[in-house]
Amino acid sequence: MYKNISLRTCVADAKIFPIPVMVCQSIKQWPENERPRERLLEYGAESLSDAQLLAIVLRTGGGQKSALDLALEILNVFGGLKRLEVATMNELSGIKGLGKAKIAQVKAACELGRRLSREAIDKGPAFSTGQEVYQYYHNRFDNSRKEEFHCAILDAKNRMMRNYRVSVGTLTQSLIHPREAFREAIRESAASVIFIHNHPSGDPTPSRDDILVTEKLVNAGDLIGIKVLDHIIIGNRSYVSMMEHGYIK
């Protein structure tokens, strides 16, 4: 049984800045450290207000307004991002300075946000046993003549965020480097991972290299703070869980 891993959230010192009051002036004329794009690059997107982020999407202003002035007006008209997301083309075109190109940019940004939100909700299964991992993965390796090494990236509830194929080829210590094995898990801020690979011979019995690679990855996971819950070896209608066999404590 896999135990849930609690996420420890470390919040860096946020640098939230007031919106500069420079009405009717091109953003290019502002001091460089006041421009939204430059602020984003230096401090991160999370440090910007909704209006500043929208100004970056708009890129330029219109109707004697800067991009930030235009962004503020749009948010004031619609009362925030929620109503802006569902605004019609006709409603958006009623704002002076917001032409077809800018409307397309705004609608595209809203759609990307909607898709990202839907993708975050639509996760894979939650794994609690090696049998569940085997049932999910075994069809991927049917008739495979090469070993494939995969990483199931999990959230704090052991639900799969996504699968990442680390490598294809005979499993050796030199082939599976922790840097590559954990690369996407680090990027996704994973709570834990399960590694999966197949034995084309059909016999899932762990080899010496399988054991050494597992030990290496478990140690690497401990160092970077991503728990390795299991390493599943899939054979012909059978599997071996390295955790269930005592290779992972």
**Domain final residue, candidates 55, 90, 121:** 121
> Same domain for 115 and 146?
no
> Same domain for 211 and 140?
yes
Q: Token pair of 126, please?
A: 């939650």
- Mean pLDDT of the 74-90 span: 91
Q: Token pair of 43, please?
A: 């401090």
> Same domain for 146 and 56?
no
**Domain final residue, candidates 121, 138, 173:** 121
Query: Nearest 5°: phi and psi at 78?
Result: -95, -5
- Compute the distance between CA of residue 72 and CA of residue 18 in angstroms, rounded to an integer: 13
Residue 52 lies in a domain: yes
How confident is the model at residue 142, as a pLDDT? 81
The DSSP bridge pattern shows strands 239-241 and 160-168 to be: unpaired
Mean pLDDT score of the chain: 84
C-beta separation of 70 from 58 below 8 A: yes
Question: pLDDT exceeding 90 applies to what percent of the chain?
Answer: 59
How confident is the model at residue 21, as a pLDDT? 42
> Same domain for 117 and 37?
yes
Of residues 176 and 173, the one with the higher pLDDT is: 176
- Mean pLDDT of the 78-107 span: 92
How confident is the model at residue 2, as a pLDDT? 78
Whether residue 83 has pLDDT greater than 80: yes
- Give tens-digit pLDDT for 38-80: 888 888 888 889 999 999 999 888 778 889 999 999 999 999 9
Range of the domain at 113: 27-121
| Unique residue bearing structure tokens 């802006």 | 84
Residue 18 lies in a domain: no
Whether residue 90 has pLDDT greater than 70: yes
Residue 77 lies in a domain: yes
Per the structure, the count of domains in the chain is 2
Would you place residue 196 in the very low, low, confident or very high pLDDT band (cuts 50, 70, 90)?
very high
- Give tens-digit pLDDT for 3-48: 665 433 333 333 444 444 444 455 555 555 568 888 888 888 888 8
Residue 223 lies in a domain: yes
Residue 31 lies in a domain: yes
**Least confident residue range of 18-22, 184-188, 194-198:** 18-22
How confident is the model at residue 120, as a pLDDT? 54
Packing angle, helices 100-121 and 50-58, rounded to 10: 120
**Domain final residue, candidates 84, 104, 121:** 121
- Compute the distance between CA of residue 69 and CA of residue 55 in angstroms, rounded to an integer: 8
Residue 21 lies in a domain: no
> Same domain for 235 and 161?
yes
- Compute the distance between CA of residue 128 and CA of residue 121 in angstroms, rounded to an integer: 19
**Least confident residue range of 44-58, 138-152, 170-184, 191-205:** 170-184
Residue 137 lies in a domain: yes
CATH assignment at residue 76 = 1.10.150
CATH assignment at residue 155 = 3.40.140.10
- pTM comes to 0.57
How confident is the model at residue 32, as a pLDDT? 53
- Mean pLDDT of the 78-83 span: 91
